[in-house]
């Protein structure tokens, strides 16, 4: 099309010899932006050596973020530009409208992927049918996950719904309050408070948990001590659709340990309840009995509620125990760092 002999440029120069032409601006922009991003470390080093204020841009994440996708935009535009060139190319208005619709969708997704997720769902989706389709697309949510470092546990598998995966990943947290005794007994219901009652003690550094940030634990006495929390999943942000249709795994964990010089008993009961607090599923293993003169090591209990059906609303977490030798004081089982987490994806079953 732009050949210097038989193309437009060649024919133009026959009429206007002094005419000049330049290479396709779109293609040139795509090429420059792509190589700038690929060589950004080298360019930053050069700009630093010559004391250029432009070096600040190449160390600014907010400035670099658009640079990652601008080459794709120009490359896409360049492809569309080429598709309009050559003999017998159809430039009918309907064809042009289709091409520019494709461009607008591509550019719109590039913009929307940077918008906060809740604004996408509650505002952007209501703008038009085009915006709704882009917001509902799997590609947009997959890209948001990639941008924010939210990746499936198994890189070889893809979530069934990237939007659900995104929100569940963002919401993933421990739903139990005060699991490490950092706020006394706040948020816990003391169901049984026998013997010399519950007490809070500091972690023995010689027998610390794998997570060394845990500094305190709850300790039981010579008669049964049990405490519990009830988690309202709806109030924690999990809708009926998520709980009834998606049914994400609910992973429960607890850490417990005996004293070395006294036997003790550990008990746990975790229930998944309906809105009327009827039991849907329950985990209540046999009590764990520790003998006197044991290794005093911390143990972890883990249970996963999965495929629990419709109607889940609450999780009731109860644990505790006692010593087995009826010693005055606090020689019973110790518990801390408990957790209830709604996972973003199903765990693999053994």
pLDDT at 72: 65
Higher-pLDDT residue of 27 and 71 is: 71
Q: Write down the pLDDT at residue 81.
A: 62
Top-confidence range, 28-32, 76-80, 208-212: 208-212
| The predicted structure's pLDDT at residue 92 | 52
Q: What is the pLDDT of residue 272?
A: 98
The two tokens of residue 299 are 């143990």
Predicted confidence at residue 267, as pLDDT, reads 98
Cα(70)–Cα(65) distance, integer angstroms: 9
pLDDT for residue 349: 47
Residue 268: CB atoms within 10 A of its CB come to 22
321 in Cβ contact with 332 (< 8 Å): yes
Name residue, tokens 């792509």: 34
Please report which confidence band the pLDDT of residue 154 belongs to, taking 50, 70 and 90 as the band edges.
confident
What pLDDT is stored for residue 100 in this prediction?
47
pLDDT digits (tens, 9 = 90+) for 158-195: 888 999 999 999 999 999 999 999 999 999 999 999 99
Judge contact between 301 and 253, C-beta under 8 A: yes
């Amino acid at each position: 099309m732009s050949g210097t002999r038989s193309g437009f440029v060649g024919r133009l120069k026959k009429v206007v010899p002094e005419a000049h032409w330049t290479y396709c601006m779109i293609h040139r922009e795509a090429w420059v932006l792509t190589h700038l991003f690929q060589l950004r470390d080298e360019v930053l080093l050069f700009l630093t050596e010559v004391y250029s204020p432009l070096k600040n841009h190449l160390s600014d994440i907010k400035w670099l973020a658009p640079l990652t996708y601008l080459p794709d935009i120009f490359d896409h535009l360049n492809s569309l530009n080429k598709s309009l060139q050559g003999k017998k190319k159809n430039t009918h208005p309907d064809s042009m409208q289709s091409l520019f619709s494709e461009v607008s969708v591509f550019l719109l997704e590039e913009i929307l992927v940077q918008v906060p997720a809740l604004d996408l769902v509650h505002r952007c989706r209501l703008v038009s049918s085009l915006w709704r389709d882009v917001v509902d697309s799997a590609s947009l949510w997959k890209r948001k996950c990639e941008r924010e470092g939210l990746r499936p546990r198994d890189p070889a598998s893809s979530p069934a719904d990237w939007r659900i995966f995104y929100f569940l990943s963002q919401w993933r947290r421990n739903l139990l309050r005060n699991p490490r005794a950092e706020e006394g007994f706040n948020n816990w219901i003391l169901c049984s408070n026998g013997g010399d009652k519950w007490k809070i003690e500091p972690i023995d550094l010689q027998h610390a948990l794998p997570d060394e940030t845990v500094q305190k634990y709850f300790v039981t006495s010579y008669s049964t001590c049990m405490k519990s929390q009830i988690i309202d999943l709806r109030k924690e942000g999990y809708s009926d659709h998520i709980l009834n249709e998606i049914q994400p795994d609910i992973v429960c964990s607890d850490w417990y340990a005996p004293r070395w010089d006294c036997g003790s008993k550990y008990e746990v009961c975790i229930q998944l309840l309906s809105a009327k607090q009827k039991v849907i599923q329950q985990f209540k293993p046999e009590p764990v009995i520790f003998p006197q003169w044991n290794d005093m090591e911390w143990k972890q209990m883990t249970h996963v509620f999965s495929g629990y059906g419709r109607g889940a609303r609450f999780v009731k977490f109860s644990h505790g125990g006692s010593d087995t030798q009826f010693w005055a004081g606090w020689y019973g089982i110790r518990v801390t760092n408990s957790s209830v987490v709604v996972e973003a994806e199903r765990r693999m079953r053994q």
